[in-house]
Amino acid sequence: MKVLYVCTELFPFLKTGGLADVGAGLPPALQALGCEVRLLLPAFPALASQAVAVRPVALSPGGPTPWGQAPALPAANVALARLPGFELPLYLVQAPALYARAGNPYLGPDGKEWEDNALRFAALGWAAAMLGQGLDPDWVPDIIHGHDWHAGLAPAYVRAFAAAGRATPATVFTIHNLAYQGLFPQAVFAQLGLPASLFGVDGLEFYGQVSFMKAALRYADRVTTVSPTYAREIMTEAQGCGLDGLLRERASQLSGILNGVDYQVWSPATDDVLATPYDVDTLPVKSGAKRALQKSLGLKPRAQALVLGVVSRLTAQKGLHLLPQVLAELVQHGGQLALLGQGDAALEQAFVDAALRYPGQVGVRIGYDEATAHAVMAGADVILLPSAFEPCGLTQLYGLRYGTLPLVRRVGGLADSVVDCTLENLDDGSATGFVFDELSAAALWRAMRRAFVLFRRPVAWAAVQRRGMGLRFDWLNTAQHYLAMYQSLRPGAKVRARPFSGRDAS
């Protein structure tokens, strides 16, 4: 079973969000289950500069296709390469005119999307489809699995080849966040090299624009998203982002598969950031991580303070506009906030102002770095995710492993992975965190109050910590669901299981 995994980020080489963590965790787990996996990514500088054993595979051909002209792309090569410390081979789309740019892979220095993003990511989808047509004659995939809108044209190109009578791989597309759809002016369509028949209400057209996301939802053989609850939510008008009708139409081909965690990276027992690692049997050692976090972020070194942590993009989607509204109450009750994040300028300023208003009680670091993220995860008592919507969320899964109780809104993957500390759930031992429903400051504060109450009962608190730390959301479990899907699409493809190289280590 040959699987081409198409994405744009890969931890630790290039990361702007959870997509990179999925790329680092899921492909090795699929490989362990017997798939032969290769990745396909744009040759962004952060990847190209670290690639070794680079071997040109082919020049991505332009010119005619069975239905017309190929995409109007600048010169591009596809090369087979390796990245240090990453076991799987990957193809890089080498197109300097498209990718050789400093900074964010999606945004220019002005914070706006690159004007040629349509062509930049059409090239990725085209390369995937061409690999499915034998661009590398030594390796032709059975499955092309694309991730998020950047890979959205791959299923459309594959469908065009299939309609022209060509043999093609099966296609799977995973939605990581439906709110980001890859929307471009209608005039862009002429540059994409797709049959004219694919533009229309039953194709890529979305309110007069071209939608890469809609292309994938329409033409992929199977559509998945990253939690079962989110799969149901996106079929509703409230969370369907205008695509709920199409998703309901394809409901029999849509499923939700919860993401996993790379416990080799996210485990307090082996975390290099921690001066003294700990596990479920040495939970009191976690207090050292709390003291270190308080010192690092300028918080008063109070062991009895309930420290609430945030590691997040600062956006309304994450519900963090609610947090400044409850900080006065939090501080009044003796709590502390440790925040790492960046995003909306107004929210950044609100938290900076809060740190000045409540010195020693609110610590803020604007930006993102892995070491501080791990320090917050280990040192906080509670990790906050009051999201307006959350396809899966990995942060709450990290919090569970670190004994840092998640406080979440009941949406998406948060609903699927956190069990509320109700009296009944505390009694039967299933509770793992704090869950609220209404997207309001009042509801958030009520959940925080419950956290304060439980924190004053250390025996009960530790029992909830141990329950969460004992759970496992490993990538092998996630990969098994994907493998079953692949086999339903290509039942004749062979798999051969092999050892999992440490990615499920706990």
Return the SS3 of 94.
Answer: strand
C-alpha to C-alpha distance for 372 and 451, rounded to whole angstroms: 23
Residues 31 and 85 in one domain: yes
Q: How far is CA 487 from CA 33, 38, 42, 450, 494, in A?
A: 12, 17, 28, 46, 9
Residues 366 and 464 in one domain: yes
Residues 310 and 402 in one domain: yes
C-alpha to C-alpha distance for 403 and 267, rounded to whole angstroms: 10
C-alpha to C-alpha distance for 73 and 60, rounded to whole angstroms: 10
Residues 254 and 345 in one domain: no
Residues 362 and 338 in one domain: yes
Per-residue pLDDT at 250 exceeds 60: yes
C-alpha to C-alpha distance for 301 and 345, rounded to whole angstroms: 29
The answer to whether residue 345 sits within a structural domain is: yes
Q: Is 182 exposed, middle or buried (0-12, 13-18, 19+ CB in 10 A)?
A: buried
The answer to whether residue 501 sits within a structural domain is: no
Residues 219 and 310 in one domain: no
Residues 104 and 195 in one domain: yes
How far is the first Cα of the chain from the last one, in angstroms, to the nearest whole number? 28
Mean of pLDDT values over 464-473 = 97
Q: Which pTM value belongs to this model?
A: 0.91
E strands in 270-404: 307-314, 336-343, 362-366, 382-385
Residues 243 and 289 in one domain: no
Mean of pLDDT values over 21-28 = 96
The answer to whether residue 437 sits within a structural domain is: yes
The answer to whether residue 494 sits within a structural domain is: no
Mean of pLDDT values over 121-129 = 97
Residues 291 and 220 in one domain: no
The answer to whether residue 351 sits within a structural domain is: yes
Domain count, the chain: 2
| Angle of the 117-132 helix axis to the 212-219 helix axis, nearest 10 | 30
Structure tokens belonging to residue 411: 């949406």
* Residue 90 belongs to domain with CATH number: 3.40.50.2000
The answer to whether residue 124 sits within a structural domain is: yes
> What pLDDT does residue 501 have?
55
Indicate the range of 35-49, 410-424, 492-506 predicted with least confidence: 492-506
Q: Report pLDDT digits (tens) over 315-343.
A: 989 999 999 999 999 999 999 999 999 99
The boundaries of the domain holding residue 404 are 280-470
Mean of pLDDT values over 456-473 = 97
Residues 302 and 159 in one domain: no
> What pLDDT does residue 505 have?
37
